[in-house]
Amino acid sequence: MIVALIVVCEVAFWVLLAAGLLLRYAAHRPRLGLAVLLVEPLLEVVLLAATALDLRRGAEPSWTHGLAALYVGYTVAYGRTTLRRLDGHARHRLAGGPRPPRPPRHGRARTAHEVRLWLRTLLAVALACGLLQLAILYVGEADASAPLRSWQFVALRALGIHGLIALSYVLWPQRAPGDKALGAERS
């Protein structure tokens, strides 16, 4: 049941997003479009409530409950950014607005961008692990909550991998194609 609800929430997210953006820019109904877009956070509330209700009814904690927690964490951390980026593209394509800025490709700006993305991942993992910990405390039994605990480790591994990627941009920032290396400038 939970997996089906996650799929329904994901599909509903994209349907509401498309409908909201089309209403805002193609139909020239910005308030109605905004109202549709503001419904999207309710999807996460529904998923969270359904997961909690499922556990309360005595369901055996499984990977589906862990996946729901990760989905909610990711959506909360990255949802607004995704919405803002797609809104910029819709404004450009449907309403003749300016082209949305691309993420920086080089230098300190790229490093800062990667660090900000990692901080969003940190937020997503913190929320997911917090929700999972609440579920673990609610279930109470160590054996029964093992699938939930394993999802915490999955989330922490993803955070670590993304952290290594962000750290690589800090330690070895990408130079613009025309920039010369420090060693080449001195010779």
Is 59 domain-assigned? yes
Reported as a pLDDT band with limits 50, 70 and 90, residue 182 is very low
Q: What is the pTM of this model?
A: 0.84
- Cα–Cα distance between 98 and 74 in angstroms, integer? 29
Residues whose CB is less than 8 angstroms from the CB of residue 146 and which lie 6 or more positions away in sequence, other chains included = none
Indicate the range of 119-123, 145-149, 158-162 predicted with least confidence.
145-149
Give the pLDDT confidence of 13-48 residue by residue, as tens digits: 999 999 999 999 999 999 999 999 989 889 989 998
Whether 95 is in a domain gets the answer yes
**180 within some domain:** no
Residue 88 lies in a domain: yes
In a domain, 187, yes or no: no
To the nearest whole percent, how much of the chain has pLDDT over 90?
61
Distance in angstroms (rounded) separating the CA atoms of residues 131 and 88: 32
For residue 141, give Cα distances in angstroms to 25, 48, 50, 148.
52, 21, 21, 11
First to last CA, the chain: 66
184 assigned to some structural domain: no
**Count of CB atoms within 10 A of residue 125's CB?**
23
Domain extent at residue 128: 2-175
Domain assignment of residue 38, yes or no: yes
* pLDDT, tens only, 135-144: 989 888 778 8
With respect to residue 146, please indicate whether it lies within any of the assigned structural domains. yes
Number of domains in the chain: 1
